[in-house]
């Protein structure tokens, strides 16, 4: 097993960024809920512990608490924001609630030598997001950093290897945050950077082989990179006891069903069963407009089909899925008191009556890490760089009721978007690009006559892991060409708009 850092999640929406920064440094990390006990963490044998930020105030009666045993594990501890306040409160420091929440950039002056500061010049720009502050550090702690508004912006007890910062080094707005985290990992904890995708593949294949034993596995295969990587990993682990099922749910893009089937049979020696289930999905979605209800209907129907297909096979006990960490973060709060954003069809949409046990080897990986695994496995570029496509398919890009007619309009528009992105060279430059059919009509003029037709929105974003994203600044002439083609070539559309919102506060998908 590689070296391991445990991150205790107190509910920050950017806790996953801590995990990303640690992994980017070549160190394996896991996030666990703040209700995880010190004894449970000790059993994980970590080399270091990081306490995340969170939305609560330390003084509140129901605020997440610090397990004092965390400080007796014999490993270095780093507290970030709320984590710093917890350390101060537990160890005898003095805190106060700020009159206003401090959010945004701040100049951090380094006021005392500290292992975290090696290679960092003073002052340095950091990112703040907090409501409480430390007035006096606990006994044994030195104040190592100040800002114009905080006398204690960082503190350390280097003898006990306990460090704390009020700002967020994990976000890119903190200019030297990455170096600070690496100093904690390498200078303080003495960890070796041994987390690689090659080691992940080796360990993952061995773990799945042991978990499955001599039984069979059904894999829900969409043709996207996530489920394809899962299938190839499982194929290495158990060979022909893997049974891949590609469900054409009637919610795919133009020609996608045949394209996926052809690609999978051409490149991979897999047991592949293509199930035509368009009518079942569309009939159940008829009249449904609520996006959460759509996701749950689709998730339940997928599992129903997988259960049916598994019943035709011998000894099938497992369902493999390409669930990623962002899916889990947005769907459930099981890792801490962070807010649920939306249910993903393969996480929050799963029925309690499901008969199969889940295998989700990518559940703790981010999309860019999955792409690295895909390269390690030798997958073709067409799979590695395929834009993410949501499990519920076009159902969550047809806003409002899903019908064959509205799906047809969206397919034609989406096809044009992808054609133009590829032709212009922008397909590989952006994270994701697609069309959305809005649930409204607008007045237009075509051929000197009045029209009252549909509106299509273009959504093209830049991202690294889908946890945050910004709208892509496409060349105006490319946007104009896409818009012109959609209006002229897609019957029933007379207006195209461009989505210029980032995530957060928006999400990448509209539903």
Q: Tell me what pLDDT residue 353 has.
A: 59
Mean pLDDT of the chain: 89
Tell me the per-residue pLDDT of 116-141, one tens digit each, with 9 for 90 and over: 999 999 899 998 887 788 989 999 99
Token pair 């295969």 is at which residue? 221
Which one of 205-209, 342-346, 379-383, 465-469 scores highest in mean pLDDT? 205-209
Q: Tell me what pLDDT residue 20 has.
A: 87
Beta strand extents in 111-179 (DSSP E only)? 124-136, 142-147, 150-157, 162-165
Q: What is the mean pLDDT of residues 353-379?
A: 86
Q: Tell me what pLDDT residue 354 has.
A: 64
Q: Tell me what pLDDT residue 345 has.
A: 41
Where in the sequence numbering do the catalytic residues fall? 81, 168, 170
pLDDT band at 366 (very low <50, low <70, confident <90, very high): confident
154 pairs with which residues across the strands?
145, 165
Token pair 């708009």 is at which residue? 497
222 among annotated binding-site residues: yes
pLDDT band at 83 (very low <50, low <70, confident <90, very high): very high
Contact call for residues 277 and 248 (beta carbons, < 8 A):
yes
Query: How open is the CA angle 399-322-347, to the nearest 5 degrees?
Result: 60
Domains and CATH numbers, the chain: 4-188 (3.40.50.880), 197-385 (3.40.50.620), 404-498 (3.30.300.10)
223 among annotated binding-site residues: yes
pLDDT surpassing 70 at residue 9: yes
Q: Tell me what pLDDT residue 264 has.
A: 78
Per-residue tokens: 379: 């997958």
Per-residue tokens: 464: 């690294």
* Residues 6 or more apart whose Cβ sits within 8 Å of residue 437: 397, 398, 399, 406, 409, 410, 413, 454, 455, 456
Contact call for residues 207 and 192 (beta carbons, < 8 A):
no
394 closest CA partner among 262, 254, 299, 493: 254
CB-based burial, 236-255: b 16+ in 10 Å, e otherwise: bbbeebbbbbbbbbbbbbee
Q: Tell me what pLDDT residue 269 has.
A: 84
pLDDT surpassing 70 at residue 426: yes
- For residues 453 and 354, the model is more confident at 453
224 among annotated binding-site residues: yes
pLDDT surpassing 80 at residue 321: yes
Phi, psi of 216 (to 5 degrees): -115, 155
226 among annotated binding-site residues: yes
Q: What is the mean pLDDT of residues 278-287?
A: 95
Q: What is the mean pLDDT of residues 416-433?
A: 96
pLDDT surpassing 90 at residue 398: yes
In whole angstroms, give the CA distance from residue 260 to residue 246: 9
pLDDT surpassing 60 at residue 259: yes
Tell me the per-residue pLDDT of 99-116, one tens digit each, with 9 for 90 and over: 666 778 889 999 999 999
Contact call for residues 259 and 476 (beta carbons, < 8 A):
no
Strands 271-276 and 242-248: parallel
pTM: 0.71
Omega cis (within 30) before 280: no
**Which helix H or strand E contains 441, and what residues bound it?**
strand 432-446
């Amino acid at each position: 097993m590689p070296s391991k850092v445990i991150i205790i999640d107190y509910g920050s929406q950017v806790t996953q960024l801590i995990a990303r920064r640690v992994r980017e440094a070549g160190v394996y990390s896991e996030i666990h809920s703040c209700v995880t006990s010190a004894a449970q963490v000790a059993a994980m044998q970590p080399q270091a512990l990081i306490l995340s930020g969170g939305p609560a105030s330390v003084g509140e009666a129901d605020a997440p608490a610090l397990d004092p045993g965390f400080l007796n594990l014999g490993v270095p501890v780093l507290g970030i924001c709320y984590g710093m306040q917890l350390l101060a409160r537990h160890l005898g420091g003095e805190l106060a609630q700020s009159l206003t929440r401090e959010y945004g950039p701040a100049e951090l002056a380094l006021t005392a030598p500290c292992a975290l500061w090696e290679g960092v010049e003073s002052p340095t720009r950091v990112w703040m997001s907090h409501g409480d502050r430390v007035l006096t550090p606990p006994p044994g702690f030195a104040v190592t950093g100040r800002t114009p508004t905080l006398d204690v912006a960082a503190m350390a007890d280097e003898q006990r290897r306990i460090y704390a910062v009020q700002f967020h080094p994990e976000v890119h707005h903190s200019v030297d945050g990455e170096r600070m985290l690496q100093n904690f990992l390498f200078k303080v904890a003495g960890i070796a950077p041994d987390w690689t995708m090659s080691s992940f593949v080796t360990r993952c294949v061995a773990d799945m082989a042991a978990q499955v034993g001599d039984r069979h596995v059904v894999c829900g295969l969409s043709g996207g990179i996530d489920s394809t990587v899962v299938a190839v990993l499982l194929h290495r682990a158990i060979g022909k006891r893997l049974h891949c099922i590609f469900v054409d749910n009637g919610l795919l893009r133009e020609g996608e069903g045949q394209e996926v089937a052809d690609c999978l049979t051409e490149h991979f020696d897999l047991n592949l069963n293509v199930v035509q289930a368009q009518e079942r999905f569309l009939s159940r979605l008829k009249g449904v407009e609520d996006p959460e209800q759509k996701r749950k209907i689709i998730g339940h129907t997928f599992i129903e089909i997988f259960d049916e297909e598994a019943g035709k096979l011998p000894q099938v006990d497992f369902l493999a899925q390409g669930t990623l960490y962002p899916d889990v973060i947005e769907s459930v709060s099981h890792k801490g008191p962070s807010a649920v954003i939306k249910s993903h069809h393969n996480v929050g949409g799963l029925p309690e009556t499901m008969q199969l046990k889940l295998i989700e080897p990518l559940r703790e990986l981010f999309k860019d890490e999955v792409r690295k695994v895909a390269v390690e496995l030798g997958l073709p570029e067409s799979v590695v760089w395929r834009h993410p496509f949501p499990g519920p398919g076009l159902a969550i890009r047809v806003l409002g009721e899903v019908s064959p007619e509205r799906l047809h309009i969206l397919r034609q528009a989406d096809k044009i978007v992808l054609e133009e992105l590829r032709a212009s060279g922008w397909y590989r430059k952006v994270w994701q690009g697609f069309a959305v059919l809005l649930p409204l009509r607008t007045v237009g003029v075509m051929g000197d006559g009045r029209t009252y037709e549909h509106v299509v929105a273009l959504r093209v974003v830049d991202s690294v892991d889908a946890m945050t994203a910004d709208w892509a600044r496409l060349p105006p002439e490319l946007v104009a060409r896409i818009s012109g083609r959609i209006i002229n070539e897609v019957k029933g559309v007379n207006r195209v708009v461009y989505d210029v919102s980032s995530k957060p506060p928006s999400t990448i998908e509209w539903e």
